[in-house]
Amino acid sequence: MIQKNILKHGIAAAFAGLALACAPVAKAADFYSGKQIVFLIGGDAGGGYDLYARALSRHMNRFIPGNPTFVPRNQPGAGSGTAAAYIASVAPKDGLMIGAVFPGVIIGPLLEEKQQGLFDPTKFIYLGSADSGTRVCITFETSKIKTFEQAQTNKVIIGASAAGGSTRDYAYLHQNAAGGNFNVVSGYKGTVDIFLAMERGEVDGMCGLDWSSLKSQRPSWVAEKKINILVQNGLESEAELDKMGVPTIWKFIKSDENKRAVEMVFSQQIFGRPYIAPPGTNMDQVKVLREAFMKMVKDSEFQADTEKNRLDVTPSSGERVQSVVEKLYATPKETIKRAKDIISPPA
pLDDT of residue 116: 61
The answer to whether residues 305 and 59 touch, using CB atoms and an 8 Å cutoff, is: yes
Q: How far apart are CA 243 and CA 240, in angstroms?
A: 5
pLDDT tens-digit readout, 194-204:
999 999 999 99
The answer to whether residues 318 and 293 touch, using CB atoms and an 8 Å cutoff, is: yes
CATH class of 135-267: alpha beta
Q: How far apart are CA 105 and CA 252, in angstroms?
A: 27
Residues of CATH 3.40.190.10 domain(s) within the chain? 135-267
pLDDT of residue 13: 47
Distances (CA, A) of 206 to 52, 149, 184, 286, 328: 21, 16, 9, 37, 26
* Rg, C-alpha atoms of the chain: 23
pLDDT of residue 242: 97
Residues of CATH 3.40.190.150 domain(s) within the chain? 35-132+269-341
The answer to whether residues 44 and 85 touch, using CB atoms and an 8 Å cutoff, is: no
Check if CATH label 3.40.50.450 holds for domain 35-132+269-341: no
pLDDT of residue 320: 93
Sheet holding 69-74, edge to edge: 69-74, 36-41, 97-100, 274-277, 125-129, 316-317
The answer to whether residues 128 and 290 touch, using CB atoms and an 8 Å cutoff, is: yes
pLDDT tens-digit readout, 220-255:
999 999 999 999 999 889 999 999 999 999 999 999
